[in-house]
Amino acid sequence: MKKTVLVSGGAGFIGSHVTVELAQAGYDVVIADNFSNCDRTNYDGVCRILGKKMPLVEMDFCDAKAVDKLFDDYKIDACIHFAAYKAVGESVAEPLMYYRNNLLSFINILDQAHKRGLNVLFSSSATVYGEPEHLPVTEKSPRQPATSPYGNTKQMCEDFLRDSVAAYPGVKGIALRYFNPIGAHPSALIGELPRGVPNNLVPFITQTAIGKRECLSIFGNDYPTPDGTCQRDYIDIVDLAKAHVCAVARMLDGKMKKPYEVFNVGTGRPVSVMELVTAFEKVNGLKLNYKFAPRRAGDVTAIWADPTLANEDLGWKAERSVEETLAAAWAWEKRLAGK
Ligand code: WQD
């Protein structure tokens, strides 16, 4: 009997890639999204990749009645929760919008888990580690006080899941702490679709290369790192999506060691902004227009994962090279531009 996975926010960048990998791994998938933060490009791309019209429920997870109806209409075996706002800077300007949307939507899902017994996979973030004292970070590394309401909602939702698992029988949970998701599907039919000016590095790079942006500003080249620019753990979006399939299987196949588990999902390889720009130019055979600019408030100097636990317990390992990822990101940007 095929298991059914609900992907909340499934029309988004990460949700769409996870939907493809889940379907290709043999799961039935229900996508639910209110399209507040994306258009239908990725949903249409998912249907093209999978060769079928995927079940789609257009709804807002802040609407408890709509959430209850969704779980009445579909027999859900596991839920992956992506539906949230995710722009760090915007969250500082609009904290209540972030707290209301990101916390209430997850509480509504946890209410269903409490009512029906459910496996819940939460999309968390390495941002919970703040500026780590020791590198690489493991799951035991201390969470630092959040530096943005966005980061705070990630920490609070991890705690909501942890406490719900402890209190309500039949609820199991995994939090995946992503490092920096980048890239696009090799088909170039789904990828990152930032609204307006991209906050994140790779979409700004590809939009500069395609001519949508004049020049990339590299925020700070005076950090205490080998080349003076910040270091991150950039993880290919398809590798990241496959980690979700491993986590769903772990929950549904009864392989969890504890009812609540946390995994770092990263490559374990630090890459600096300058290294990423240089790799992008090399693999795509182009020169990027960039300049050094002052540091961006809130940036951490360096963070990268110790992915041992995910490698060993999830049976998952990042496989794609940063060059492959940047080539896919560029192919996606060119397709968006109709090239
Ligand atoms: C990476 C590096 C910038 C843009 C955030 C969130 C994380 C996740 C991913 C949502 C930094 C530099 C960037 C630019 C630059 N959130 N940069 N010029 O800040 O590590 O992580 O996004 O999905 O939870 O915290 O990612 O891509 O914004 O920045 O120099 O135009 O690139 O200073 O050093 P970040 P990022």
pLDDT tens across 182-239, in order?
Answer: 999 999 999 999 999 999 999 999 999 999 999 999 999 999 999 999 999 999 999 9
Helix (H), strand (E) counts: the chain: 12, 13
Angle at 91 between CA 87 and CA 94, to 5 degrees: 135
Task: Give the relative orientation of helices 201-210 and 322-336 as an angle to the nearest 10 degrees.
Answer: 50
Task: Enumerate the domain spans of the chain.
Answer: 4-182+234-265, 201-232+268-332
Which of 124, 180, 265, when mutated, tests ligand 1's pocket best, judged by the most ligand atoms within 8 Å of its CB? 180
CATH fold group of domain 4-182+234-265: Rossmann fold (3.40.50)
74 is catalytic: no
Q: Quick one: average pLDDT of 293-311?
A: 96
Per-residue CA distances from 106 to 7, 81, 82, 211 (Å): 13, 7, 9, 38
How far does the centroid of ligand 1 lie from the alpha carbon of residue 201, in Å?
6
242: closest CA among 159, 186, 203, 171? 186
CA 71 to chain centre: 24
> Two tokens at 272?
């600096």
Which of 13, 137, 219, when mutated, tests ligand 1's pocket best, judged by the most ligand atoms within 8 Å of its CB? 219
Nearest atom in ligand 1 to the alpha carbon of residue 148 is 25
Residue with CA at minimum distance from ligand 1 atom 21:
180
pLDDT tens across 97-122, in order?
Answer: 999 999 999 999 999 999 999 999 99
Alpha helices in 185-312 (DSSP H): 201-210, 237-252, 273-284, 308-309
Do residues 53 and 274 lie in contact, with contact meaning Cβ atoms separated by under 8 Å?
A: no
Which of 273, 288, 322, when mutated, tests ligand 1's pocket best, judged by the most ligand atoms within 8 Å of its CB? 273
Q: What is the pLDDT of residue 253?
A: 95
- The string of DSSP codes covering 142-161 is PPPPPSSHHHHHHHHHHHHH
pTM for the whole structure: 0.97
pLDDT-above-90 percentage for the chain:
96
Strand blocks (E) in 93-226: 119-125, 172-178, 180-182, 216-219
Mean pLDDT of the chain: 97
| 27 has pLDDT over 90 | yes
Q: What is the pLDDT of residue 282?
A: 98
Ligand 1 binding pocket (C-beta < 6 A) is 86, 88, 125, 127, 180, 199-201, 204, 216-219, 230, 232, 273, 296, 299
276: closest CA among 318, 332, 219, 319? 219
> Two tokens at 27?
């799961």
| 339 has pLDDT over 90 | no
Q: What CATH architecture applies to the domain 201-232+268-332?
A: Alpha-Beta Complex (3.90)
Q: What is the pLDDT of residue 1?
A: 87
Angle at 168 between CA 164 and CA 172, to 5 degrees: 65
Residue with CA at minimum distance from ligand 1 atom 27:
200
CA 326 to chain centre: 17
Give the pairing type, strands 231-232 and 271-272. antiparallel
Residue with CA at minimum distance from ligand 1 atom 36:
200
Do residues 288 and 281 lie in contact, with contact meaning Cβ atoms separated by under 8 Å?
A: yes
| 293 has pLDDT over 90 | yes
85: closest CA among 19, 130, 151, 131? 151
Q: How confident is the model at residue 78 (pLDDT cuts 50, 70, 90)?
A: very high
Question: Residue holding tokens 């992506």?
Answer: 82
The single residue of 43, 85, 150, 223 carrying the catalytic annotation is 150
Q: How confident is the model at residue 181 (pLDDT cuts 50, 70, 90)?
A: very high
3-state secondary structure of 42: helix
Q: How confident is the model at residue 52 (pLDDT cuts 50, 70, 90)?
A: very high
How far does the centroid of ligand 1 lie from the alpha carbon of residue 299, in Å?
8
CA distance 287 to 222: 23
Maximal C-alpha separation, the chain:
56
Q: How confident is the model at residue 321 (pLDDT cuts 50, 70, 90)?
A: very high
| 275 has pLDDT over 90 | yes
Q: What is the pLDDT of residue 50?
A: 98
How far does the centroid of ligand 1 lie from the alpha carbon of residue 303, in Å?
11
Q: What is the pLDDT of residue 265?
A: 98
Q: What is the pLDDT of residue 28?
A: 98
